Amino acid sequence: MAIDPTRFCINRKIAPGLSIEQFFQLVNKLGLHKVELRNDMRGGSVTDNLSHAEVKALAQRYDLEIVTINAVYPFNQADDALMAKAEGLLKDAQGVGAKALVLCPLNDGAPVSEQQTLEALQKLGPLFAQYGIEGLVEPLGFPVSSLRSAQKAQALIRDANVPFRLVLDTFHHFLYEKAEEEFASGVDINAIGLVHLSGVEDGRPTSELTDEERIMLTEGDVLKTAAQVQRLEQLGYRGIYAFEPFSSVMDSWKAADIEREIRRSIEILQD
């Protein structure tokens, strides 16, 4: 399986100890050209202490495309506070030149009806259009998540009549017990806008896995992320793959560690 390296993207979550410029330098050194920024880093904002113009200039200097900002949460609780948060992130996306903004559902065990999620999508759609930013809906597979199913997310996007697409995450696909069954019958590959990749070696029951167990890809990956990617390729997916580990082990990683882990993960996918 050979994937064009231009399709690989690095999520900033892998580099909690690096500044934005250091992160951009590392990605450029790897010969990659796509990054995802976040609003949950130590600096407390998407841009840390930099202006939009400064981040955009750094991306241009290091020949990088800012694919997305992660994330509007919880998008399916679209009250005034959420809409204000969404607009703030849309301004960030527009300002730094990001193409899209990820939307994550409520993930605390509180129920959210399909109708509420549908109405939230309909409410957010015009706001995203106003800023010229694409919405990417990411189902979360945790048992407490209010939107676990990729199939259901795609159906809600269609029914809401908004031009959003899906984020398929290999970790969350693994967590959701009906994912394989639904994937075979109801997930439109052409409506996937981004695929998030990580790996897990922890052997605890699936229902007990958390973001803390998410590392980069390894030969012992219980998510079988490489196999998930191979299937996506066979089905015709030609979009972006973004590496998105979460474990706190990365707090101690230096640039060399990050570089090594990215290279190893890409090698596993290219075997």
pLDDT band for 185, please (50, 70, 90 cuts). Answer: confident
Q: Which tokens belong to 9? A: 């993207």
Looking at the DSSP bridge assignments, the partners of residue 11 are: 36
Q: What is the residue type of 167?
A: V
Residue 170 has pLDDT above 90, yes or no: yes
Residue 187: predicted pLDDT: 93
Q: pLDDT band for position 1 (50/70/90)? A: low
What is the pLDDT confidence band of residue 271, given thresholds at 50, 70 and 90?
Answer: confident
HSE-up of 227 (CA within 13 Å, CB side)?
Answer: 9
pTM of the model: 0.97
Mean pLDDT of 224-240: 97
C-beta atoms surrounding 256 within 10 Å: 9
Q: b or e along 192-209 (b: 16 or more beta carbons within 10 Å of the residue's beta carbon)?
A: bbbbbbbbbeeeeeeeeb
Asked whether residue 263 carries a pLDDT value surpassing 70, the answer given is yes
C-alpha span between 177 and 181 (Å, rounded): 9
Residues 6+ apart with CB under 8 A from 208: none
Residue pLDDT, tens place only, 63-99 = 999 999 999 999 999 999 999 999 999 999 999 999 9
**What CATH number matches the domain at 5-270, 2.40.170.20, 3.20.20.70, 3.20.20.150, 3.40.630.30?**
3.20.20.150
